[in-house]
């Protein structure tokens, strides 16, 4: 009978010590948020460039049509200011809320999230990049609608610069809400329905003058983040604009934007692992 030395047995400590140790593979550096966000933003912007003209036309034509229709109902004053501001922000709601909900709903249903999950980019970069790209399409239509409404109702054009703050802040709040709806909806049809309902709420609660609404509807209006952007823009038309209230409305938009985008990022992680 031959005796096998203990040191050559597979399970022995000596054998394990004599095995060549393999160096652990070094992982590549983790992608940083801002470069990843910029890359996703450029990719989404170029992808949606083909549909840019139809989107701008539909969103702008819708808001301009509402202005013309409301001109026969509202003469001027604070009601005209509310109509012009609400119609301008409605362009943001159409793209950032409605279309983004449809986009993420389709992306989830068709397995497009699997593609993004394989990329070395943080989830927040995917959500913020797509939201920023869609919100960028709202800028020309919002400005055109605001200028047309001011001319139509005889309002001053001096404070159009406030749109520089209103568009990104209201757009962030609505884009985060739209992305969350699209990612949390179990079916793309439901995501489309929720996006349409959100845009309809922005239309009814944002365009109509608040003083003509019942108290219950006013409470519902306060729950919609886009109405704070509407109020911030409408307050600048008066000769003595209360800038503290304007800043307060913009702060609400910013706060809701941070929360809604955080929820959308969580919803993206949740949908990507399934």
pLDDT of residue 24: 43
Predicted model pTM: 0.83
* Exposed/middle/buried for residue 17 (C-beta within 10 Å: 0-12, 13-18, 19+): exposed
Biggest distance spanned by C-alpha atoms of the chain: 111
In the block, tokens 């840019």 appear at 52
pLDDT score, position 30? 58
Residue 25: what pLDDT? 43
- The pLDDT of residue 258 is 94
Predicted pLDDT of residue 7: 46
C-beta of residue 162 within 8 angstroms of C-beta of residue 236 = yes
For the chain, 274 residues long, give each residue's pLDDT as a single digit of tens: 545 454 444 454 444 444 444 444 444 455 677 888 888 888 888 776 665 667 778 889 999 999 999 998 887 788 999 999 999 999 999 988 998 999 899 988 888 887 777 778 888 888 999 888 888 888 889 999 999 999 999 999 988 999 999 999 999 999 999 999 999 999 999 999 999 999 999 999 999 888 878 889 999 999 999 999 999 999 998 766 788 999 999 999 999 999 999 999 999 988 876 6
Q: Long-range contacts: 119-123, Cβ < 8 Å, 24+?
A: 120/28, 120/30, 120/31, 120/36, 121/31, 121/36, 121/39, 121/40, 122/31, 122/33, 122/36, 123/265, 123/268, 123/269, 123/272
> Exposed, middle or buried, 149 (CB in 10 Å: 0-12/13-18/19+)?
buried
CA angle 268, 50, 197 (to 5 degrees): 50
């Amino acid at each position: 009978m031959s005796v096998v030395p203990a040191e050559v047995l597979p399970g022995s400590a000596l054998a394990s010590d004599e095995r060549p140790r393999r160096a652990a593979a070094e992982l590549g550096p983790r992608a940083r948020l801002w470069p990843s966000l910029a890359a996703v933003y450029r990719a989404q912007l170029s992808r949606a460039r083909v549909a840019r003209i139809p989107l701008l036309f539909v969103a702008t034509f819708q808001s301009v049509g509402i202005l013309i229709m409301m001109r026969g109902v509202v003469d001027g004053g604070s009601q005209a200011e509310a109509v012009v501001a609400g119609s301008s922000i409605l362009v943001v709601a159409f793209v950032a809320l409605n279309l983004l909900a449809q986009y993420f709903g389709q992306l989830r249903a068709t397995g497009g999230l699997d593609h993004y999950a394989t990329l070395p980019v943080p989830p927040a970069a995917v959500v913020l990049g797509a939201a920023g790209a869609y919100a960028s399409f709202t800028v020309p239509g919002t400005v055109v609608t605001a200028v047309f409404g001011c001319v139509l109702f005889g309002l001053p054009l001096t404070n159009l610069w406030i749109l520089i703050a209103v568009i990104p802040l209201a757009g962030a709040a609505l884009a985060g809400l739209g992305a969350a709806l699209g990612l949390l909806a179990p079916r793309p049809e439901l995501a489309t329905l929720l996006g349409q309902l959100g845009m309809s709420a922005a239309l009814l609660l944002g365009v109509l003058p608040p003083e003509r609404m019942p108290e219950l509807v006013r409470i519902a209006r306060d729950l919609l983040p886009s109405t704070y952007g509407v109020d911030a823009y409408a307050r600048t038309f008066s000769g003595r604009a209360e800038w503290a209230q304007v800043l307060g409305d913009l702060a609400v938009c910013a706060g809701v934007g941070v929360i809604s985008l955080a929820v959308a990022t969580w919803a993206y992680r949740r949908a990507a692992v399934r």
